[in-house]
Structure 1
Amino acid sequence: MRDSYRHWQRIPTRWADNDVYGHVNNVVHYAWMDTVINTWLITEAGLDIHDGGAIGLCVESHCNYRASVSFPDAVDAGLRIGHLGRSSVRYEVGFFLEGRDDVVAEGHFVHVFVDRTTRKPVEIPADLRARMEGLVA
């Protein structure tokens, strides 16, 4: 399962991530997805979040939970692209306990790229698309 992901980022859990049941609360997984995707976009794909003409807006997200994670665990977040369209991209993220092969959660996150000012859909910029193609599963 791990080998189907193209990019990896380790994410430590925080004490505040645990809920009253003693495991990481479900909403935290969505924040992790947002973090791994946007970290990759900024550091690896060159997305200019402050002045770029196109921005990605989340139009859909989903997560399936397979096993619990608790502080002080760290998770390895694997990122791949399941679909690359003209103006949209579906990122797929798998979460694994540090150094283990069993997925604890997996989800997806869809961005539609829009003009920063008008918010109308635009084609994914060519340089960004080229980087994304390297993550297509």
Structure 2
Amino acid sequence: MAPVPDHPFVTEVPTRWLDNDQFGHVNNAVHYQVMDTVINDWLQAQGFDPAGDVVDLVPESGCRYHAEISYPDRFVVALSVARLGRTSVTWSLELSRASDGVAVATGHVVHVFVERATRTPVPIGGSLRAAMTSIARSEQA
């Protein structure tokens, strides 16, 4: 899979039979699950431990739907960092159908990194910040 402009990380996520709703397409709520999965898979691949002392909370998310997708098609998900702050990151995602490349949805998710016990925001640093910078949109790099 080739990078999508402004989204340097691209992966595929299969749809499942149970994702289809009574209208014969993947239910809108599944799009959020796909975005969450891609972001958290990417974070864990960078060494982030979701069971550790620091967790990532979601204070904001959004999704705009452009076209339907149905099982057994696959989502192609392009991910980038739209904004990297001191303790938060805004992810940008584009979801398309693998079968024909048609854009299905665009979304964003904001993560704030906090101490698990106190919920106090903590700076994003070290290798995780470097990894996020590596997939930042050109205006963020």
Query: Normalized against structure 2, the TM-score is what?
Result: 0.91
CA distance in 2, matches of 1:118, 1:75: 36
Say which SS state the counterpart of residue 31 (structure 1) adopts: helix
For 1:85, the equivalent position in structure 2 comes to 85
Give the CA deviation at 1:2.
2.2
CA distance in 2, matches of 1:29, 1:65: 9
For 1:124, the equivalent position in structure 2 comes to 124
Give the CA deviation at 1:125.
2.7
Give the CA deviation at 1:78.
0.6
Which of the numbers 38, 41, 62 marks the counterpart of 1:39? 41
CA distance in 2, matches of 1:11, 1:28: 11
Say which SS state the counterpart of residue 4 (structure 1) adopts: coil
CA distance in 2, matches of 1:117, 1:106: 33
Amino-acid identity (%): 44
Listed one character per residue, the Cα deviations across residues 26-48 of structure 1 (whole Å, up to 9, x for unaligned) are: 000000000000000001x1101
Give the CA deviation at 1:6.
1.1
For 1:12, the equivalent position in structure 2 comes to 14
CA distance in 2, matches of 1:34, 1:111: 11
Give the CA deviation at 1:99.
5.6
Equivalenced residue count is 135
For residues 1-137 of structure 1, the aligned pairs below 5 Å read 2-43=4-45, 45-51=46-52, 53-98=53-98, 100-137=100-137
CA distance in 2, matches of 1:10, 1:78: 9
Say which SS state the counterpart of residue 136 (structure 1) adopts: coil
CA distance in 2, matches of 1:64, 1:76: 16
Give the CA deviation at 1:55.
1.4
**Are the counterparts in 1 of residues 74 and 99 from structure 2 also a CA contact under 8 Å?**
no
Listed one character per residue, the Cα deviations across residues 100-134 of structure 1 (whole Å, up to 9, x for unaligned) are: 44311010000001012111111113221111001
Q: Which runs of 5+ in 2 are unaligned?
A: none
CA distance in 2, matches of 1:131, 1:23: 35
Query: Normalized against structure 1, the TM-score is what?
Result: 0.93
Distance 1:4 1:99, change over 3 A: farther
